Amino acid sequence: MATQGWKALEAEGQLPATAWRKERQWALDMGLPGAESITDRDIPTFARGELPHFAGINTFMKAPYIENVRDVGKYDAAVIGIPFDSGTTYRPGTRFGPQGIRRISALYTPYNYELGVDLREQMTLCDVGDVFTIPANLEKSFDQITRGVAHVFSSGALPIMLGGDHSIGFPCVRGIAQCTDKKIGIIHFDRHIDIQEKDLDERMHTTPWFWATNLPNVPAVNLVQLGIGGWQVPREGVQVARARSTNVLTIADIEKFGIEKSAEIALDLAWKDADAVYISFDVDSIDCGFVPGTGWPEPGGFLPREALKLLGLVCAQGICGFEVVEVSPPYDTSDITALMGVRVVVEALGALAAHGKLGSHRSIINKPVTY
């Protein structure tokens, strides 16, 4: 019976288990062999690696913590925490987003049944910890964020940012854009348009794409915004989007076209005359019934499975960076918003692995920085 379920059963048998065996041996070497009463001799005395899911140090997906950030280039991708919420204009709390996402990421394994992907076997991932942001100072924090992202991108590792409020979108893109003279498109999942020049007289989380598309190699015509709508879209931002000819698909548009066609449209627009695409995923793009832990919840957004399907399709062509933003643990319930933050990251990585696009971003690094 040629169902996806049966094909997935078959596909698992083709995956290697080399890295899993290596990790289990490492766990024994580092954590001491288990007590004599333990039948499973792969269990160490001290928890190391993936198991058990309720124990261990909470890096993202139990990935190795890279204490010396100069070693980041040894990995295919690197998780960067950006604990920053000074750009919020309503309720703060996203400075705890990286912490919350890492904590609940222990729930996951690196294997996805439907995709037939095992990230442990098909890529190397590390966690470089958090950027040292400066509370109540946006510009100094932006400079810190740009420097950290540029360092990781220049090393060849794919930067995966855990926010943090959406104001970090600008310094994250700036960090990548300064390392290349190639053109970068942006695919932005959100309920909010986030492209006005200022908010409350500062570059708040409603402004990142105004400043990102001011960069010389990040054209506004390659900005594609998915899910925009509702009663929280400032007219100032709409006016900028119209003047700069950005591309907006509402939830109604996506329902009309369907997920596959919407992904095709987004890719065509983001990649037109561009050399790479950056993905920005705001969790509030998903209906707030599923993601209560966010600063500006808005009903009427994506269902989780719609967002995940669309995200996987647009990532399958390759990306130069990824951010998930606006996870606010103080407002969360049972970690479900933080878990969505984890899921969108692994969905993106899974799509890259499944389609052979891991490392494709390295071809545009022609102005690497060194510090």
The CATH number of residue 299's host domain is: 3.40.800.10
| Domain presence at residue 227 | yes
**Residues 186, 139 within the same domain:** yes
CA nearest 101: which of 140, 130, 73? Answer: 130
**Residues 112, 23 within the same domain:** no
**Residues 102, 124 within the same domain:** yes
Encode pLDDT of 118-177 as tens digits.
999 999 999 999 999 999 899 999 999 999 999 999 999 999 999 999 999 999 999 999
Q: What is the mean pLDDT of the chain?
A: 96
- Please report, in tens digits, the pLDDT of each residue of the chain (371 residues total): 689 999 999 999 999 999 999 999 999 999 999 999 999 999 999 999 899 999 999 999 999 999 999 999 999 999 999 999 999 999 999 999 999 999 999 999 999 999 999 999 999 999 999 999 999 899 999 999 999 999 999 999 999 999 999 999 999 999 999 999 999 999 999 999 999 998 888 888 999 999 999 999 999 999 999 999 999 899 999 999 999 999 999 999 999 999 999 999 999 999 999 999 999 999 999 999 999 999 999 999 999 999 999 999 999 999 999 999 999 999 999 999 999 999 999 999 999 999 999 999 999 999 999 98
For residue 1, the model assigns a pLDDT of 67
What pTM value is reported for the model? 0.96
Coil, strand or helix at 321: strand
Encode pLDDT of 341-369 as tens digits.
999 999 999 999 999 999 999 999 999 99
Residues in Cβ contact with 6 at an 8 Å cutoff, skipping those fewer than 6 apart = none
CA nearest 184: which of 173, 175, 195, 193? Answer: 173
| Domain presence at residue 158 | yes
**Residues 184, 298 within the same domain:** yes
For residue 222, the model assigns a pLDDT of 98
Token couple for 93: 């709390």
Q: What is the rounded distance in angstroms from the CA atom of residue 284 to the CA atom of residue 81?
A: 19
The last residue of a domain, from among 56, 75, 94: 56
**Residues 4, 82 within the same domain:** no
Q: Tell me which H or E stretch contains 280.
A: strand 276-282
Q: What is the rounded distance in angstroms from the CA atom of residue 245 to the CA atom of residue 241?
A: 6
Residue pair 248/289 in contact (Cβ under 8 Å)? The answer is no
**Residues 189, 217 within the same domain:** yes
| Domain presence at residue 300 | yes
Coil, strand or helix at 77: strand
**Residues 6, 132 within the same domain:** no
Give residue 136's identity as a one-letter amino acid code. A
Within 10 A of 319 (CB to CB), how many other CB atoms are there? 25
Number of domains in the chain: 2
**Residues 20, 146 within the same domain:** no
Query: What are the angstrom distances between the C-alpha of 38 and each of 19, 43, 44, 51, 65?
Result: 23, 8, 9, 15, 29
Residues in Cβ contact with 297 at an 8 Å cutoff, skipping those fewer than 6 apart = 284, 288, 291
| Domain presence at residue 371 | no
Q: What is the rounded distance in angstroms from the CA atom of residue 207 to the CA atom of residue 49?
A: 40
Give residue 54's identity as a one-letter amino acid code. F
| Domain presence at residue 232 | yes
The last residue of a domain, from among 56, 83, 100: 56
**Residues 227, 345 within the same domain:** yes
**Residues 260, 152 within the same domain:** yes
Q: What is the rounded distance in angstroms from the CA atom of residue 150 to the CA atom of residue 215?
A: 15
**Boundaries of domain holding 326:** 57-361
Give residue 68's identity as a one-letter amino acid code. N
Give residue 165's identity as a one-letter amino acid code. D
**Residues 70, 126 within the same domain:** yes
**Residues 47, 178 within the same domain:** no
Token couple for 2: 């040629």
